[in-house]
Structure 1
């Protein structure tokens, strides 16, 4: 899309009435000419070699100004073919051609003529040159600037004949900065303290307090969740759940601790490659596993893997370089100097993970077992206690040890004289097949379906057109529950048991869901169940024949998780367990350490009460450890293939995974600074290159994105595109000064935020005369403070906070607050149904709301879909959002709890109470007229509910949180209506 390039020209033309505007100055190639060439010419005469016509490049000086048949003759626009073509009357010669639907205005033609007549000075695109640190300009109003940032803004205003707005009042300023830095409104206590503080540094201390608040990290995380395409599911039709909240937790912690942005970048892009990487640094690398994952049946794993690498490449380019590189998957970029080969050079950095494209189901490898900090500390303490108890259990005990030696001698002699068969049944490792899909996709048919193994196992046989085969499964250890692939269908497990004589053996089984068992072709168990796997759900006695015995298990999965458990009971020989008997018949000096330990435990279990007490303590500790380990999150992270398994990266023709062409190695675009020389570069090299001082883009792109957060739009409006199709900066010197300041500060994000909010520019009143709004509706010149509608997620948090419902606990798994019934079911053909949480979970911050990719949370409007990287903020203007803030359960519940606060804390009469609540919601006192209107509405509403108490009861029953029944229900309902009105005031819905 190219329409966004018109706005800078409109802005230039729209300022003709002011002195010092762009067209009254000399023509700038960067500001005036390059946007025209890029928008109208580069499609056919730009970087894309395959689309280029007439062998003419207008993105390169040496081509456009070539000595042979030049299209631009310096100093002579009348002799330049470029001007002749764009002004031609003959449609056959006119450029751009009519079928392109692109035209040039008379003003644009004149701009090109003036540029050529001035000698056609040519320089590179501004964003591709390293920012030079500009000197803050001198300004006429020397007292206005509060820091050097303001000098750039004031200089632009003075150049355009404008004046800044006066400072915002203290209450509005505190509300603005509190919302910006924490995402929540100020409390009345904070407001009163600030208004009562007349010291010169009162505002700075308020800013420092907000920057130190744990709410800061939560507020700053939202834009990163959009950029990282964070969600709690994989996406696509099945949309299975994944566990990525530990990455979100790392993000909040990093932001609160003010991790320098260069280190922040390194950990997110390559934390797993750092020397002695910590668990947190490995989790941080999950940034590039937050993408969607196609685990649908019938997909090609390699195609899925390649799509994931595309996503990582393009997300990294957008977030750190501000470049749109996607089109270079298939061909050279049509507007920016990025060739297809260079795209795959970037792609190569992300092409070396062990991810295969197979599996999925929310747990695609590579993964990390994540222990939260408190859990890790407890596990360390448990290990210490286990070691202490174990040492105590193994400590010598003269009397018990003497009795054990006597028992060993007597029992060994008896076993030798009895001639008992001491051989045990041997179990070969498992082989696994499947899962094989449900017949016709109907899960209910799987249990009874004969897939073939039921009639005999042939380990060489394949299924489903050769895609599924028997494979060894050495990790399926006995005595433990094991997860199986989550495909709806059947998984088979097969092993051989060898016995030296015919005998019976007891086994214990567990399954998720149903299970069937065959021994030597005869079915010995059939349990059609719908359950989760657990130990000892079924017990079976197997009658083994002498020699080889074949055991086959069929595990049926009807949906969701799948799993299996298997354990063989100990065999008894001569009245003692088989392993004990074998150990006893070994001479003491020939026993291995395991046998010695086994005999000690067996004897002390029966003859030592202290040992039994220690064993109980040990079992308790092990149970706690097991519970903690089972509850551990499996987080998707990045890793790197070992050198001998590295993939060869090749250019993919038209971006198709199976159309491999030229071999490429890890590299960066040639128009940017080179990578450091030395060893073969990897993701860690790339991450450090991105935050190297020489990189012209990263610092600019980052400060621009933060500027957007505070002012509603970036200094470069096209947040995601700093290339030649992007908008030019409104304040180029300010952008470069901010970028260099950011780098000089050690990439200190909080220092950058403080610099912005401490500025006079930020602290201006957002009120301005109508004429000023009409002249600059988007506040490009920054002549007033930033005022715009709060995002939908912040409005929900604000309502919860005002009602004192907000649960301020940080981190943890995602939660499911109120949502209309049936939304998930409708989007998933009835397969997934939404079940709202209860208790505190429904009142967590919006940051923690469970995000299903195929249908996001219904209370959020115009937020990122979390299916791809999004860095440009969009403010909703949907009328439907008003219906939500008036009627959605969370907002009505917040209104009734705000009403409870009104009645408890606001005073003793309606006027006092409503004034108190108005100030709580808006941070200002209401006018008499406003108060009269609200009190009148409250009285009429109270009278209506007095006549219809059942309506009041229904209103007060909205939401799960119980109300204070000591409060009068009719008055409470009337105050709830008033509070709902206040929550929907424009100044409550907007940043002041």
Structure 2
């Protein structure tokens, strides 16, 4: 019999805790060898106090300066990028642009060679999915394969960049970062009727190749910088896309949660920094203080969080206001009569609710707002919703005859509904002229404020690493200009992080992994860049106002399409996915990019491909989210009412209503991200539910039936149908062996089952 290790001996000498390993603790628990409970609790309290002493050191406290080590101060990501000279390489004939020189130099240093160029069929399938998220048609494949012009590849890239589907594909990447959803989350998960306007703004911005610095500024401070541009107001909805507990009893805490979320998200998305880890204490690993977090938050503090921001041109707004005056004039008698009828019942119900409040709460409500202390303000925020009188309660307390009068007045008002004007609205930020103070919150708790802080840059990125207030200028009589200052600082061409972060995101989506493998963490705990000189060259090139001469149609500074073009025209991008044995041995994870990385398509792109190849895809763009039907027994199906128009059932997946607590069932197995937080990189798992979705789901069954009908219509013989099926689904012609197997299968099974089988081939959902 094997005896367990002896449990630790407890004594008053706490140094012995240091030698007690986890395995010993497990044995101690198993054999019941802890000391009596009173002794245990006494020592447990002492240990907790000791730990609190350790963690409290520099945890909270003042907004003063912090000393950091040279390693933290001199981290590569805090230094502004400079343009390096592309290295000289031995195999210069392989180099198509400077990207290749940087890649090849590393390969040659490791005694490795790049992979051969992919076939034309592979290349056009790869780039079409990369840029527009749809499979190439047989006609498009043939045009490229048979085009002997030296610029054939460039023409394909330029055509796809000009496609309206480009914005849908790359807008989806951005929506992952922006934690986009069309509902609030939490228990009730109420819909956000106008959140889709932000999605449409993003798609349009990508299609128009809006300069990234302008795109960034609009989202942080569009209302201040471009107040007459409705789309810039829509853009500020970025800040409010996180989950929101709208029914919270504590509205002050609700606002603080939103401020925390927008501060954290801005740091992750635009700076690639985990700023949110400093909300409750100084960052444990990065040179980011808790004061830094709240200094950054102070930029957002004056903003009002609007869910109904009018998004129209000034002339349209003036016309609306005139129509509203007309409507109000027409309805004055009915509205006045209704108010007179309901007022006494509303007041009686209000008084009853007020009387049920605690003495302290009643006293707080009776004080003028300016005379309430912090505790009284919190009490008022927590109890205000208890005093709201629902309309149904007013009706219930009325006598029958007055209920009849009320209904008559409501019906009279309803007659004017068609004349009641409405404005398109969106979520967004707008300032009211009030500038609340911002305090460092100890442990991140609203009820535990510390020192007051002023808006300012992150200390580690400030001149001399000194924490000083940021200069800002009022943007208007009611706008402080604080967010303008933040946006201009982040969008500086010489900012050490902004350009690096976004070009790394582009590289990540084209090559399967970023030059920095942690795309939203460029800090000390992030992964160092595999090719730092290349990253700097791309960042400087990105913000450069002058074209580098890579071909016609070159765009200017901050152009995302220009960066796409540069990456896609490189020999590095055009490599095959087949690894050389030596490369597998020396560089298994392909950190040196000696080949292209094979990867699975996202769930949305798989669904869109099913619709496209079966000829059912509705390419209509924009508008409110749609509801394709889901199985009635699916979780949450009672909250998912299918769209009335069948054409909406086959829209692109980016337009499916994005509900936080109910993700579209077909997409969920394919690693659809959690929209409660920014997602810089989707997981790419391989699981049984994915195979079951492709084999058994109604979406695939319908697509297989539709593809079979398309093949029967467009191809006459069995061999022609087999060939067309391969070209539509896999982008290539079948081999002789595949043709033979297909004939044998079709001799015994219907064509729709063969189509379903092709949808389940790895090649359909993977990209070479």
> Which residue number in structure 1 is paired with residue 127 of structure 2?
177
CA contact (8 A) 2:504 2:519 kept: yes
Asked whether 1:818 is paired with 2:612, we answer no
Deviation digits for residues 936-983 of structure 1, max 9, x if unmatched?
112111xxxxxxxxxxxxxxxxxxxxxxxxxxxxxxxx1111111112
Alignment of structure 1 residues 52-451 onto 2, 5 Å: 60-61=69-70, 124-242=74-192, 243-297=194-248, 299-355=249-305, 365-370=306-311, 427=336, 430=339
> Which residue number in structure 2 is paired with residue 738 of structure 1?
538
- 1:289 is displaced (CA, Å) by 1.1
* Inter-partner Cα distance in structure 2 for 1:910 and 1:929: 15
- 1:657 is displaced (CA, Å) by 1.2
Alignment of structure 1 residues 435-474 onto 2, 5 Å: 461-462=354-355, 465=358
Deviation digits for residues 214-249 of structure 1, max 9, x if unmatched?
000000011111111111110000110102001111
* Inter-partner Cα distance in structure 2 for 1:184 and 1:261: 25
Asked whether 1:919 is paired with 2:727, we answer yes
1:426/1:160 CA distance change after superposition, 3 Å: closer
Asked whether 1:641 is paired with 2:432, we answer yes
- 1:801 is displaced (CA, Å) by 0.7
- 1:293 is displaced (CA, Å) by 0.6
CA contact (8 A) 2:183 2:190 kept: yes
- 1:851 aligned to 658, 663, 671, which one? 658
CA contact (8 A) 2:708 2:755 kept: yes
Structure 2 residue matching 1:668: 3-state secondary structure: coil
Asked whether 1:908 is paired with 2:716, we answer yes
Asked whether 1:865 is paired with 2:688, we answer no
Task: Please identify which structure carries the higher strand content.
Answer: 1
> Which residue number in structure 2 is paired with residue 359 of structure 1?
none
- 1:908 is displaced (CA, Å) by 1.5
CA contact (8 A) 2:78 2:496 kept: yes
Which structure: larger Rg? 1
Q: Which runs of 5+ in 1 are unaligned?
A: 1-42, 65-121, 356-364, 387-423, 435-450, 471-486, 494-510, 528-535, 541-563, 569-618, 942-973
CA contact (8 A) 2:342 2:394 kept: no
CA contact (8 A) 2:277 2:283 kept: yes
* Inter-partner Cα distance in structure 2 for 1:51 and 1:344: 12
Give the TM-score taking structure 2 as reference length: 0.79
1:339/1:825 CA distance change after superposition, 3 Å: same
> Which residue number in structure 2 is paired with residue 539 of structure 1?
408
RMSD over equivalenced CA pairs, Å = 3.8
* Inter-partner Cα distance in structure 2 for 1:272 and 1:155: 47
> Which residue number in structure 1 is paired with residue 549 of structure 2?
none
Deviation digits for residues 657-710 of structure 1, max 9, x if unmatched?
111110001101111145874537611111111010221001111111111111
Structure 1 residue matching 2:439: 3-state secondary structure: strand
Task: Please identify which structure carries the higher helix content.
Answer: 2
* Inter-partner Cα distance in structure 2 for 1:354 and 1:293: 15
> Which residue number in structure 2 is paired with residue 679 of structure 1?
473
Asked whether 1:839 is paired with 2:639, we answer no
- 1:858 is displaced (CA, Å) by 1.7
Asked whether 1:879 is paired with 2:664, we answer no
* Inter-partner Cα distance in structure 2 for 1:623 and 1:455: 30
1:453/1:758 CA distance change after superposition, 3 Å: closer
Give the TM-score taking structure 1 as reference length: 0.62
* Inter-partner Cα distance in structure 2 for 1:770 and 1:893: 43
1:678/1:656 CA distance change after superposition, 3 Å: closer
Alignment of structure 1 residues 658-737 onto 2, 5 Å: 658-673=447-462, 677=471, 679=473, 682-737=482-537
CA contact (8 A) 2:500 2:539 kept: yes
Structure 1 residue matching 2:579: 3-state secondary structure: coil
- 1:916 is displaced (CA, Å) by 1.3
Structure 2 residue matching 1:671: 3-state secondary structure: helix
Q: Which runs of 5+ in 2 are unaligned?
A: 1-51, 324-332, 367-383, 464-468, 475-480, 545-555
- 1:427 is displaced (CA, Å) by 4.9
* Inter-partner Cα distance in structure 1 for 2:54 and 2:99: 39
* Inter-partner Cα distance in structure 2 for 1:694 and 1:459: 62
Deviation digits for residues 355-412 of structure 1, max 9, x if unmatched?
4xxxxxxxxx3521346x9xx99x79999x99xxxxxxxxxxxxxxxxxxxxxxxxxx
CA contact (8 A) 1:433 1:469 kept: no
* Inter-partner Cα distance in structure 1 for 2:84 and 2:56: 31
Q: How many residues end up aligned between the 2 structures? A: 662
Asked whether 1:657 is paired with 2:455, we answer no
Deviation digits for residues 911-940 of structure 1, max 9, x if unmatched?
221111101211111100011112211211
* Inter-partner Cα distance in structure 2 for 1:891 and 1:513: 49
Structure 1 residue matching 2:658: 3-state secondary structure: coil
Deviation digits for residues 474-501 of structure 1, max 9, x if unmatched?
xxxxxxxxxxxxx9999658xxxxxxxx
Asked whether 1:936 is paired with 2:744, we answer yes
- 1:334 is displaced (CA, Å) by 1.3
* Inter-partner Cα distance in structure 1 for 2:142 and 2:607: 24
* Inter-partner Cα distance in structure 2 for 1:152 and 1:898: 45
- 1:171 is displaced (CA, Å) by 1.1
CA contact (8 A) 2:281 2:290 kept: yes
Structure 1 residue matching 2:401: 3-state secondary structure: strand
CA contact (8 A) 1:862 1:875 kept: yes
